A and B are shown apart, each in its own frame.
Chain A
């Protein structure tokens, strides 16, 4: 009896998990399929799932109209750059908060997180003016800096929860053996934290890759990443779904593949510290 209950439960859970998975993945699949339709078929009602004339015209048109490779390179530079700089700042910060907390550490963490609660558009004009005066408008350097700053609270929080899981005793033992602070962080803490750092890195690359407010508003022709590439294909006048889908597919493909290969780290990083 008991075994039958667990078996039905197992089945139910599997079915629910698949259903949710398909539901979440469906928009991406739909985008992918639409990118091979003609504009007319893309809006046809009822829509056809697979039985349409597959065409590569949209991809050809997108290739012809914009420089995908330039936008792609910008996206890679900005997202990797901001994540790496963020980690260099965040690892010591999270170390200090996890292992040498003071009375105010909790407040400090909350305060950092609170900066994420402000709508970005509220500081658009001041940031724009600073960028104008420092010549950072439409530069990859400027975007890297701004994305580092907005993602820093999340990086620190993730690393902090991860470091909290590491027993202080190990660090103490290292100290007993006469390890300096530098050695303690680089040779003892970091190797143990590699999975956590890896998942933080991945998640932040994805966040930076998808960031669409600052990357659209602070760029023009030179530093525009893939978000701007997508934004040039929707249109209030005329049908555009098929071309937009082609552009979106090209824009999300690299990050989707990266996500696929690093699923394990991602899930581990996100759920780490959830069970205590």
Chain B
């Protein structure tokens, strides 16, 4: 530190002691569109709470996750509000790393939060994080291509119909591919999609005693179906496609169908970036008639780390950012279509929102049809639809994702990939002490 900056530091200390009452909240958040909008609306919060100042740390999801995890595990106390996903909330709450949110205010209306989302954030009856926006996955499809092929998409399609339609639409000569699905390896990339899909095939990650289930016929059926479908009707190089790659393909008119996050609807229907904005239709994620659909459930939530010394102010902020008033504020500034979706029942009852967001009903139905506490056909010991809420899952999920990505690329047979996944998962779970 130079002499000058030392002086500056002392000056700022003096200045700060002058406003001894002003508290500064440090908020860590991911840089998705809805959060950036929240950052821009900070003035509304500070106007209502003149004694609180807000500082933002906005980072890419993976960078943020690593940083926030380091800070919370060491009780570093650098942040007062964290943006974390539904994967972290149950794990961190059990570790005692999060403060239960019981001071959100009398008019917060906790019961208005969507039950499917809220149940994943509640541990032992206490709410540990407030949802900022929620999402599920659904089918986005091209109405024009379906009309041309003489097909009609039902509101709730089956996997058989999706596969048949995808093969029919595919026209590789003109670079039209029936279906675009995730293939890039990662627990939050291809495994989010494949785990949710496997749920609808009756598969599960673990049985009640934490034994890996990749040697069971359900997984084989699900993975074979996926690999064959992508071989016949998917784009080339699909094993390196994630959300953004598929978004680019779909927007430039190269996909007949795309099954992915509901948040994509606002991108593909935007005529500024999407060539096919006027041709997009929506349907629920497919099923196999087993009672579970292949859609996931995710929410970005705001939580207070146990190391924070400004819990009251932090809860005030969370209450502001996840309230009904915040939704109305966004609507007033940027229109109802840009309101963060998937958190409150009242939003979906609002006729103005229904009018502005044609995908609203499909989003709500998708979210409601996923149950993180009972995600699979057969019983499981874990919470989470497209993930398993245990700390080991990030590592295991990514390693299994690499096997499945290799199967999609044709470097491995489906049987070999499943056998490798079974072996590595069993090894890690034994090492972690789940299998005695």
Contact = CB atoms under 8 A, between A and B. Distances in A.
A184 B190 CA distance: 64
Contacts of A236: 60-62, 188, 242-244
Interface in A112-169: 124-125, 128-129, 132, 137-138, 140-141, 144
B32 A238 contact: yes
Contacts of B61: 235-237
B273 A40 contact: yes
B166 interface: no
B28 A220 contact: yes
B77 interface: yes
B62 A239 contact: no
A109 B251 CA distance: 56
Tell me what chain A mostly uses at the interface: helix, strand, loop, or mixed.
loop
A77 B247 contact: no
Tell me what chain B mostly uses at the interface: helix, strand, loop, or mixed.
mixed
A228 B28 CA distance: 13
Contacts of A144: 1
A228 B78 CA distance: 15
A234 interface: yes
B1 A40 contact: no
A130 B32 CA distance: 32
A39 interface: yes
Given A44-B252, A81-B2, A220 B78 contact: yes
Contacts of A137: 76, 78
A141 to B, nearest CB: 4
Contact of A216 (B1, B63, B71, B242): B63
B74 A128 contact: yes
A239 B67 contact: no
A32 interface: no
Contacts of A194: none
A23 interface: no
A48 interface: no
B5 interface: yes
Contact of B5 (A132, A140, A221, A240): A140
A234 B1 CA distance: 31
Contacts of B1: 77, 81, 140-141, 144
B31 A217 contact: no
A221 B55 contact: yes
Interface string B33-62: 100100100000000000000011111111
A224 interface: yes
A236 B243 CA distance: 7
B33 to A, nearest CB: 6
A239 B244 contact: yes
A227 B244 CA distance: 22
Contacts of B26: 220-221
B111 interface: no
B33 A238 contact: yes
A125 B73 contact: yes
A237 B36 contact: no
Interface string B285-327: 0000000000000000000000000000000000000000000
A63 interface: no
Contacts of B58: 65-66, 232
Contacts, number: 99
B263 interface: yes
B31 A125 contact: no
B248 A125 contact: no
A43 interface: yes
Contacts of B252: 44-45
Contacts of A239: 244, 247-248, 267, 273
A40 B251 contact: yes
B174 interface: no
A100 to B, nearest CB: 33
A232 B261 CA distance: 22
A232 B273 contact: no
A65 B57 CA distance: 11
A228 B244 contact: no
Nearest to B247: A239
A238 B244 contact: yes
B31 A233 contact: yes
Contact of B60 (A125, A129, A217, A234): A234
A231 interface: yes
Interface string A20-54: 00000000000000000011100111000000000
Most buried by A among B36, B60, B188: B60
Interface string B237-281: 000001110011001100000000101000100001100000000
A124 B2 CA distance: 26
Contacts of B76: 128, 132, 137
B350 interface: no
A140 B57 CA distance: 16
A190 B252 CA distance: 61
Given A40-B273, A77-B2, A217 B59 contact: no
B78 A231 contact: no
A128 to B, nearest CB: 5
B60 A235 contact: yes
A221 B32 contact: no
Most buried by A among B1, B5, B30: B1
Contacts of B243: 236-237
Contacts of A44: 252
A217 to B, nearest CB: 6
Interface of B: 1-2, 5, 26, 28, 30-33, 36, 39, 55-63, 66-67, 70-71, 73-79, 188, 242-244, 247-248, 251-252, 261, 263, 267, 272-273
8 contacts: A40-B251, A65-B39, A77-B2, A128-B71, A128-B76, A132-B77, A217-B67, A220-B57
Q: Give 5 closest A-B pairs by Cβ, nearest first.
A: A221-B55, A43-B248, A141-B1, A220-B78, A232-B58
